[in-house]
Copies of this chain bind each other. A is one copy, B any other.
């Protein structure tokens, strides 16, 4: 099975991987620590000269960040691109990127959070698989758990060709199959009504976020619902949707709102898979075919992520 026209090739030990900063400004010590982790995996690492640039809160001007990302896609030496960090800034780049050019040089791209903008566009505009996963100057710098580190490595090296992830709860029962899309709820919602929203029809929608008030989580789910997205997807899988740390009342409200907004749907809904902010952040290949098994509380990746 191969749903993607431009599935990137898996990495081999010794390959060169690139690090770019398409979003918020990056701190040197974090970047260096994360680059060390990539090197320890056996890759040569080519870090963008502009990765530590600053323009206000952003990692350089929009044209610079977009240009660097395009250059790393075009560079035949670079076999995979890792985002340095999220924060904010990818959305501004969307109209500046030549998606047809990017589609001609498919390669692994890894990021999440603000990079949700890029992940879904890589899937829908460039026909690629894009990897929702840890970022260099963030999770990689802080250190992944052994399990999620090994999972990432195995997937990127093409050793893991199918796998399953356990959810905490089946909120709505049933089974479904579709290509995985989605990402950070607040970023995904910022694409609604724009040309950069993913196609929702028949897809499995992954959603996670952190630090949002419960009423905002609900407002975002309501927007996805009123935009017709939730009724068009084949199924929904939530990662962590966590409020400001330690606010138990907000956490309960979020659980309630998720139950309310999904109550009227026909598709299966899982919650609590370990991907995204405030979790072990296991890599999730977007664009590949997955199956929701509601009874087993499980998300199954049934297609190899990489060629």
| A window 69-107: CB within 8 A of B | 87-88, 91-92, 94-95
Complex alpha-carbon distance, A218 and B55, angstroms: 14
**Segment at the interface with B among A156-164, A189-197, A299-307:** A189-197
Provide the residues of chain B in CB contact with A88, threshold 8 Å: 215, 218-219
Q: A87-B215, A88-B219, A94-B226 are in contact. Are A192 and B195 (CB under 8 A)?
A: no
Q: Number of A residues whose C-beta is below 8 Å from B?
A: 29
> Which chain B positions have C-beta within 8 A of A215?
24, 57, 87-88
Copies in the complex: 2
Contacts of A244 in B (CB 8 A): none
Which listed residue (B94, B195, B223) contacts A194, Cβ 8 A?
B223
A193 with B57, Cβ < 8 A, contacts A218-B88, A222-B91 known:
no
Q: How many whole Å from A63's CB to the nearest CB in chain B?
A: 12
Query: Hey, which chain B residues are within 8 Å of A197, CB to CB?
Result: 193
Nearest-neighbour CB distance to chain B for A257, whole angstroms, equals 9
Task: List B contacts of A223 (CB < 8 A).
Answer: 91, 190-194
Asked if A214 CB lies within 8 Å of chain B CBs, one says yes
Chain B CB within 10 A, most for which of A95, A193, A195, A253? A193
Of all chain B residues, which has the CB nearest A95?
A: B226
Within the complex, which residue of B87, B94, B256 is in contact with A56, where a contact is CB–CB below 8 Å?
B256
Report 11 cross-chain contacts, Cβ distance below 8 Å, ordered by A residue.
A24-B215, A87-B215, A91-B222, A91-B226, A92-B218, A94-B226, A95-B226, A189-B190, A192-B223, A193-B223, A196-B226
A-B pairs, top 5 by smallest CB distance, nearest first, are A193-B193, A194-B226, A192-B193, A88-B215, A193-B227
**Chain A contacts to B: CB under 8 angstroms:** 24, 56-57, 87-88, 91-92, 94-95, 189-197, 214-215, 218-220, 222-223, 226-227, 253, 256
Extra pairs beyond A88-B219, A192-B194 (4, CB < 8 Å) = A57-B214, A91-B223, A189-B190, A190-B220
